[in-house]
Every structure is written in structure tokens, then in C-alpha cells.
Amino acid sequence: MKIFLDTANLESIKKFNDMGLLDGITTNPSLMSKEKGNPKDAMAEITSIIKGDVSLEVVSTEYSGMIEEGKRLRQYGENVVVKVPMTPDGLKACKTLSSEGIPVNVTLIFSPNQALLAAKSGAKYVSPFIGRLDDIGQNGMQLIEEIKKIFSHENYNFKTEILVASVRHPMHVVEAAKIGADVVTLPPAVLDKMLGHPLTTIGLENFLKDWEKVKAENPDVKI
Ligand code: G3P
């Protein structure tokens, strides 16, 4: 499963990229709004740090504006994936951009039918928002299972990848991985939680305490 970071925060991107964890980045206008400075600089830096796919989102809601913005966004790098909303104009833009070789991520997917239509329009990725479904009492993970089944080679063999978005906690990641989702995009806080375990912390403390005993008896010892 590929791991993308769902942020425009450069510090977080560098931190996890240095650990070799990041296959890509997803951003959206809300995530951009959380960062200081000109988004143009952030987009340029993100696309140069990260070698994998970087989703940058259009803000136009009509077809020609989406195409214009998509082509402008693509100038940040060959790894730019243009993110468009799941609307009729978004799907039309998806078809045009995809047929010109520009990969598209269709976002704000909340039903299996929306995912099916985005795949038919040529999307490289569909982004189902599972946390927002959970928030309104629907089962976000069930949506991932349904899309997975529809896209599978036993059914229609769509090449479109399932990019699980709106992830809120580490169990979402475990469930998505068990279903076989292609990608999860994670807020930095979720990736931080996945890294840690109390037994790892206690275990390391104990190793270091015990090593102090060894050093007390062998003052010149070095590892
Ligand atoms: O990638 C989409 C994601 O950022 C939405 O997350 O937490 O705003 O539902 P959230």
C-alpha cells in the first residue's frame, strides 16, 4: 500500500520523507489555507522534494477553468496529479486531461457510483472521504470495500487506484490495508501515531537503563 501525506506543511513533508515513508502528497485548498506564505512557493517546493505523485487541486468549478488551472498546476512538475471535484464539469475535465496524458485525482467521492463514474472518465485516482462518512453515521470503510470489489479484476478490472482520504486514525489505515486499498493519504498526526507504541518506548528505556549498568562495570566500553 502506498502512503501519501495529506498536507501542504513542508516541515512534516520533509520529516516523513527523510524516513523514506512517503510515496506522494495530497493537498487541497483547505490544507493550503492552513500554511503561511504564498501557496505557489509551497507547491514548487513540495513537487521538487517529493518524487512521487503530488495532487494539486483546481478551484474553478467549470470545465474550461479547470483545464486552464490543471495545465498551470502541471507546470510545477511531471509528478503533478490534477485534483478535480466529483462534478459533471470535473469529470469532463478528467476525461480531457487524462486523454492528454495528465493524471487526474477525482476528489470528494462519497458513493460507489461516483467512484465508478470517475474511473470511467479516466481518473488515475479516486479519493473516497471515509472520515466524513463516519462523521455522519455512515460506514466509510464499507465504501472502500465496495469500490475495491467494483474495480477488481474479477469484476471490471479498472486501473484507477483507490486513494483512501479523510483518514482520522491508525485503525482506518489497518482496515484500508486489509481491504487492499492502493493508497492511504494521512494527516501527519495519524502517521505519527502509527509510528509509536508504548511498549517500544518502555522497551527502549529499559535497554538504556541496563546499558548504564554495563557501563558502570566497564567504563571504557563503547558500542
Ligand atoms: O484528502 C482529503 C482530506 O484532507 C479530507 O480530510 O479530515 O477534512 O475530512 P478531512
Number of domains in the chain: 1
Tell me if residue 83 is catalytic.
yes
Indicate if ligand 1 lies below 6 Å from the C-beta of 188: no
**Residue 208 belongs to a domain:** no
Q: Is residue 31, in this structure, part of any structural domain at all?
A: yes
Cα 56 to middle of ligand 1, angstroms:
14
Question: pTM score > 0.75 for this model?
Answer: yes
Give 138-156 as a DSSP string. Answer: S-HHHHHHHHHHHHSTTTT
Per DSSP, what are the bridge partners of residue 83? Answer: 57, 105
Residues 104-134 pLDDT 10s? 999 999 999 999 999 999 999 999 999 999 9
Nearest residue to 26 (alpha-carbon basis) of 171, 151, 170, 124: 124
Residue 115: predicted pLDDT: 98
Any residues with CB less than 8 A from the CB of 34 and at least 6 apart, and which?
Answer: 8, 9
Q: Of how many residues is the chain composed?
A: 223
Q: Measured in Å, how far apart are the chain's first and last C-alpha atoms?
A: 36
Domain membership of residue 65 (yes or no) is yes
Please give the angle made by the CA atoms of 219, 221 and 222, to the nearest 5 degrees.
Answer: 135
Q: With cut-offs at 50, 70 and 90, classify the pLDDT of residue 93.
A: very high
pLDDT tens-digit profile of 171-184? 999 999 999 999 99
Asked whether residue 219 is domain-assigned, the answer is no
CATH of the domain at 113: 3.20.20.70
Give domain status of residue 119, yes or no.
Answer: yes
The Å distance, Cα 27 to ligand 1 centre, comes to 9
Neighbour tally for 88: CB within 10 Å = 10
Q: Report if residue 205 sits inside a domain.
A: no
The catalytically annotated residue of 34, 40, 71, 83 is 83
Residues 31-78: tens digit of each pLDDT? 999 999 999 999 999 999 999 999 999 999 999 999 999 999 999 999
- The answer to whether residue 18 is domain-embedded is yes
Cell of 173: 489505515
Give a yes or no: residue 210 inside a domain. no
C-alpha closest to that of 43 among 28, 65, 64: 28
| 130 CB burial (10 A radius; 0-12, 13-18, 19+) | buried
Burial class (CB in 10 A: 0-12, 13-18, 19+), 33: exposed
Nearest protein Cα to ligand 1, atom 7: 166
Q: Whose CA is nearest to atom 10 of ligand 1?
A: 166
CA distance linking residue 223 with residue 131, whole number of Å: 46
Which residue segment(s) compose the domain that 138 sits in? 2-196
